[in-house]
């Protein structure tokens, strides 16, 4: 049996600076043993522990789609000790990845449903994995209408700019990209906060329409009443939590909230489930 605490050795294959302030970078890792790459089989919405010897381990959502084979990607905000160290690393450097961990989005329940995806800031990473997966020709027929509301502070802070432009051009996904504000005269998308744009563009709520919401607490706080107003049932609103966690496998209790262990029972929950536990997120 594989030791759940043992990371897979990986090499940094590519580093993409995503934002103009360089605070967000996407790291593409390849597994040093290709067999580990096959063992690391994830579903969109899961996370992994990135492990840097001598520095520590941090939970990060998996930004690559399960349909992208041979590598795994993470988009990391430079916030403290471990993330700063990672940002200073270079192509060819080695480290470890432990996972995949957590439950991921409930794809069986979402089969055949319409999806409203609402994302803000760097919480868009697992949503990118989800969109990429759903838009693959072999998967697109498994879902109904797809609407995406994605916002960042300014155009330069948007992630995955080339893919956003590509998805904009498609007619099987409705993209509603927004920024809090900009003085760029060429900006051709929305201006305004994510909850406002959600209210303006969201498809009507019915039993076959689910919302997946990932973003900073303030975005979630103001998006929830909008979804309530639009009539989305709390069973059909899906969220991913980012509580502090350590082991990632439900053993240490570090991420306990109410009766749930966020790393093991989550990080993905419906709003109906979250209503029953303390709002510590
Ligand atoms: C399931 C999950 C998925 C995540 N996905 C991503 C992702 O895709 N990209 C990404 O950049 N980050 C993500 N995070 C947050 C990431 O784990 C933290 O930013 C990271 O652990 C900080 O490590 P550090 O050593 O650099 O910072 P530290 O030196 O430990 O702390 C620096 C600052 O970050 C704050 N911080 C630390 N951990 C967290 C946390 N879990 N939530 C909120 N604030 C925190 C601290 O309070 C402090 O202000 C995720 C967290 C979880 C639990």
Residue-wise pLDDT for 226-275, tens only, equals 999 999 999 999 998 887 778 888 888 888 888 888 888 888 899 999 88
What pTM, to 2 d.p., does this model score?
0.94
280 pLDDT band, cuts 50/70/90, is low
**Per-residue pLDDT, 3:** 81
| 83 CA closest ligand 1 atom index | 26
Q: Look at residue 36 and tell me whether its pLDDT is greater than 70.
A: yes
- Give the three-state DSSP class for 232: coil
Say if residues 59 and 248 touch (Cβ distance below 8 Å).
yes
> Is residue 181 in contact with ligand 1, taking CB distance under 6 Å?
no
Q: Look at residue 157 and tell me whether its pLDDT is greater than 80.
A: yes
**Per-residue pLDDT, 181:** 93
**Per-residue pLDDT, 223:** 95
Q: Look at residue 27 and tell me whether its pLDDT is greater than 70.
A: yes
Average pLDDT for residues 46-75, to the nearest whole number? Answer: 96
What is the whole-number distance in angstroms between the Cα of residue 163 and the centre of ligand 1? 25
Distances (CA, A) of 103 to 189, 224, 228: 33, 22, 25
Place of tokens 């039993």: 207
CA-angle at 151, arms to 107 and 126, nearest 5°: 30
Which of 55, 58, 85 has most ligand 1 atoms within 8 Å of its beta carbon, as the pocket-test mutant? 58
Q: What is the per-residue DSSP string for 24-66?
A: EEEEEEEESSHHHHHH----TT-EEEEEETTTEEEEEE--S-T
| 266 CA closest ligand 1 atom index | 1
CA–CA gap between residue 6 and residue 55 (Å, rounded) = 16
- Give the three-state DSSP class for 98: strand
Tokens representing 203 are 């498809």
Residue 268: partners with Cβ closer than 8 Å, 6 or more residues away: 45, 102, 103, 104, 105, 106, 238, 239, 240, 241
Average pLDDT value for the chain = 93
CA–CA gap between residue 204 and residue 192 (Å, rounded) = 21
CA–CA gap between residue 221 and residue 215 (Å, rounded) = 10
> Is residue 217 in contact with ligand 1, taking CB distance under 6 Å?
no
Compute the radius of gyration of the chain from its Cα atoms.
18
Q: Starting from the edge strand earliest in sequence, which strands make up the sheet with 268-270, in order?
A: 190-191, 174-179, 146-152, 114-120, 209-214, 237-240, 268-270
Tokens representing 66 are 């399960």
């Amino acid at each position: 049996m594989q030791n759940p605490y043992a990371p897979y050795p990986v090499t940094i294959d590519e580093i993409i600076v995503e934002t103009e302030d360089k605070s967000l970078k996407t790291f593409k890792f390849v597994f040093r043993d290709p067999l580990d790459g096959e063992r690391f089989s994830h579903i969109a919405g899961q996370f992994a522990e990135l492990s840097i010897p001598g520095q520590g381990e941090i939970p990060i959502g998996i930004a690559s789609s399960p349909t992208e084979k041979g590598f795994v990607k993470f988009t990391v905000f430079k916030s403290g000790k471990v993330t700063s160290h990672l940002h200073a690393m270079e192509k060819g450097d080695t480290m470890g990845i432990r996972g995949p961990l957590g439950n991921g989005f409930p794809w069986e329940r979402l089969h055949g449903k319409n999806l409203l995806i609402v994302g803000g800031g760097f919480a868009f990473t697992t949503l990118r994995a989800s969109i990429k997966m759903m838009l693959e020709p072999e998967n697109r027929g498994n879902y109904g209408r797809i609407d995406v509301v994605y916002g960042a502070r300014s155009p330069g802070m948007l992630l995955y700019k080339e893919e956003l432009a590509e998805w904009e051009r498609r007619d099987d996904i409705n993209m509603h990209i927004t920024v809090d504000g900009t003085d760029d005269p060429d900006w051709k998308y929305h201006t305004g906060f994510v909850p406002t744009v959600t209210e303006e563009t969201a498809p009507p709520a019915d039993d076959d329409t689910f919302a997946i919401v990932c973003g900073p607490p303030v975005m979630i706080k103001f998006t929830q009443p909008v979804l309530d107003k639009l009539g989305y049932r709390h069973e059909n609103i899906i969220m991913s939590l980012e509580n502090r966690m350590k082991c990632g496998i439900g053993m240490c209790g570090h991420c306990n909230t109410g009766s749930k262990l966020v790393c093991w029972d989550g990080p993905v929950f419906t709003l109906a489930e979250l209503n029953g536990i303390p709002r510590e997120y």
